[in-house]
Structure 1
Amino acid sequence: MILITGAGGSVGRSLLRGLHERGIASRAFVKNADQGRVALSDGATEIVVGDVRSRDDIVAAADGVTRIYHANPTSIVREVFIAEYIVEAARKHGVEHVVYHSVIHPDIAEMFHHQEKGRVETVFEDSGIPSTFLRASHFMQNYLDFWEFVRGGALPYPTSPNSVMGVVDAEDVGEVSARILAAPVEKHAGGVYDLSTQELTRHEMASEWSAVLGHKVSAVKFSPNVVTNPLWSVASLGALVGTTLRNNPVAAPLQIVRGARQSSNAKGVRNWPRESQDCYVRMMQYYDKNGLPAGDLTVLPELLGRPATSYREFARREARRRGHATAD
């Protein structure tokens, strides 16, 4: 039995499907019953509803499991104490392997949450429990929060369209995680793996969407301050409206309305604690100036046993999933 925290996220859901396909029992740790129903549909053997910040919930959830996959919720930026609970639970129940979903370049001093994940890696290293760290790049899926705008011809994000971002498909990360958890412990114990596919600016991402959707898609920047100050939304929406009207005038009115509704609280950011919101703003400000380089691009294909999913392949797949005919 494998315990999966973060089972409601893109990686967690993909991981559950991968374990189910391999006939491996999984216990999904979720925050509510709705997530639990989704986890069961993804192939989870069992679900546990709890709070990942609760020592008692973590220890109870680990009872009877042999391995743990841990992905911390994005809304919780201080996570060392959670790692300490997982170590305690693992020792109590004889867990033989912990796989931790970390981040690419955890040594970037300007971003607290990157450094925090580096500190979590140290907690697991010092525990003596065989551990594996998956250092994932920026997810391709992050832009699907703005899908309706993309359909309308605009690819918005709170960073410069010229910033170079290393990206990876979350479903590839889920598949790699399933492969590692299904393998003998000694094969990956102590492994630290960069999970990156390619580097792109958002202008280049928009070009990929243009080719897939068959109409022009342009990158648009809006301020990350919309998270903490809704007044910034007015100027951001204006830029999105203008771009959509130019690129796809027939569909623009409907897509503008749908896009504004869909992205008004992407990932529930406006419900996060203020510290988490501030951390998000600082992260976007860093990306705006510096981008986020990819890690070693040779690692992911080797772990997958196939080429990693390209951004074009990702865009084509997600468009078709949403019922949109593709042009390429």
Structure 2
Amino acid sequence: MPDFQNDLILITCASGKQSAALIPHILKSYKKIRLQCNSSASAESLRQKYPNTEVVQADLFSASDCSRIIADVTACWLVLPPFHPHETSLGTTFIDACIAQKDSQGPLQHVVYSSVIHPILQKLLNHDCKRYVEEYLIESGLDYTILQPTHMMEMLPIAHLMQQENPTHLCNWNPTTKFSFVTTRDVGEAGARVLEQRQKHIAATYQLVSTKSPLSYTEACEIVSKVLGKEVKAQQKGFEDAVNTSIKMINGGKEPPKAMKEIGSRMFLYYNERGLIGNSNVLGWLLEREPTSYEQWAKMKVEEIGSASK
């Protein structure tokens, strides 16, 4: 059973959307939390936001850094940087550090890996690389849980749409293609339950899908239109513009390396034709409530934005 007073919990990529949604839940239960980030700017921001946590700046590509941040850790939440050209190596390097910590009689009891829905999709390079990390974790001898979130609702920039008189969402792919969505709210809560219940979820793999039925971005914008009280249109961007803008933003505003751009290009082409479809049953069971619908999420975002502006 978890020792909420003394267990040390490590959360990687702590500035990212998924980890940011997890941290408030973990703060309610565990007293000792270590947050990993890559940049000094992120480290400073995390220290200000979570003053009662330990913030560590570390490169997950570095074996010595991975060993340093996993030291004395009881359980960890592993998220890897998105679209990283060496994501598989980052994952296996971190898992090696976990194995070494446990083999040296360390306290590690649980690794929770936030992967992606359908990592078997080889055409999606950003999914396929996670397949190898999952395999390495499963064969590592470590106690693990794998979470597989689908396409995030947070991809729709509601704050930006609220500011427009005649709002239009510029989609990176065909707006009529269907997706199953999840919100980081549900991902964070599900991750916290797994970390807090630990033994109940060892060796499990869970799809994380919030929406009961797949939605296109056209349909998503119709839902948001009702919430905002004004029509929100969905319009597709040009392919090159979509790839360049999105991948540059993921890369912190800097020009991305060629390999990173290729990963994004393959994903956009796939999403344009096939979307990403999953099932919400498992998430509902895990949360012990109905997952958040797209309309509920939109309403919560509008309320959150309104409260922040007061």
| TM-score, length-scaled by structure 2 | 0.87
Query: What code does the residue aligned with 1:78 have?
Result: H
Query: What code does the residue aligned with 2:63 have?
Result: R
CA 1:156–1:47 in 2, change beyond 3 Å: closer, same or farther? same
Q: After superposition, give the CA deviation of every residue in 1:87-145 in whole Å (9 maximum; x if it has no partner).
A: 2221222221111111111111211111111111001011110111101000011122x
- In the alignment, is residue 148 of structure 1 matched against residue 160 of structure 2? yes
Give the C-alpha shift of residue 36 in structure 1.
2.3
Partner residue, 2:36: 29
Partner residue, 1:161: 175
Query: What code does the residue aligned with 2:290 have?
Result: P
| TM-score, length-scaled by structure 1 | 0.83
CA contact (8 A) 1:96 1:129 kept: yes
Partner residue, 1:68: 76
Give the C-alpha shift of residue 6 in structure 1.
1.4
Q: After superposition, give the CA deviation of every residue in 1:7-61 in whole Å (9 maximum; x if it has no partner).
A: 1111101111111011342111011233224434247611101112111111101
- In the alignment, is residue 203 of structure 1 matched against residue 218 of structure 2? yes
Return 5+ residue gaps in structure 1 as ranges: 231-262
CA contact (8 A) 2:186 2:210 kept: no
Partner residue, 2:4: none
CA distance in 2, matches of 1:87, 1:30: 17
- Find the partner of 2:116 among 103, 107, 111: 103
Partner residue, 1:214: 229
Q: After superposition, give the CA deviation of every residue in 1:169-227 in whole Å (9 maximum; x if it has no partner).
A: 0121011111111113x211110000001221011110111111111101111023125
CA distance in 2, matches of 1:29, 1:64: 14
Q: Secondary structure at the match of 1:127?
A: coil
Seq. identity, %: 28
RMSD, aligned α-carbons: 2.2
Query: What code does the residue aligned with 1:56 have?
Result: S
Q: After superposition, give the CA deviation of every residue in 1:138-163 in whole Å (9 maximum; x if it has no partner).
A: 0011122x742464211122111110
CA contact (8 A) 2:207 2:282 kept: yes
Q: Which moved more, 1:97-106 or 1:71-80?
A: 71-80
CA distance in 2, matches of 1:143, 1:161: 12
Partner residue, 1:289: 273
Give the C-alpha shift of residue 323 in structure 1.
2.1
CA contact (8 A) 1:78 1:113 kept: no
CA distance in 2, matches of 1:147, 1:47: 29
CA 1:27–1:324 in 2, change beyond 3 Å: closer, same or farther? closer
Partner residue, 1:178: 192
Partner residue, 1:54: 62
CA contact (8 A) 2:81 2:87 kept: no
Return 5+ residue gaps in structure 2 as ranges: 1-7, 103-107
CA 1:220–1:99 in 2, change beyond 3 Å: closer, same or farther? same
Query: What code does the residue aligned with 1:143 have?
Result: L
| Equivalent residue pairs, number | 290
Equivalences for 1:250-289 in 2 at 5 Å? 266-267=249-250, 268=252, 271-289=255-273
Partner residue, 2:19: 12
Q: Secondary structure at the match of 1:103?
A: coil
Q: Secondary structure at the match of 1:100?
A: strand
Give the C-alpha shift of residue 316 in structure 1.
1.3
CA contact (8 A) 1:300 1:308 kept: yes
CA contact (8 A) 1:227 1:270 kept: no
CA distance in 2, matches of 1:23, 1:58: 22
CA contact (8 A) 2:9 2:30 kept: no
CA contact (8 A) 2:243 2:264 kept: no
CA distance in 2, matches of 1:100, 1:77: 19
Query: What code does the residue aligned with 1:224 have?
Result: F
CA contact (8 A) 1:164 1:291 kept: yes
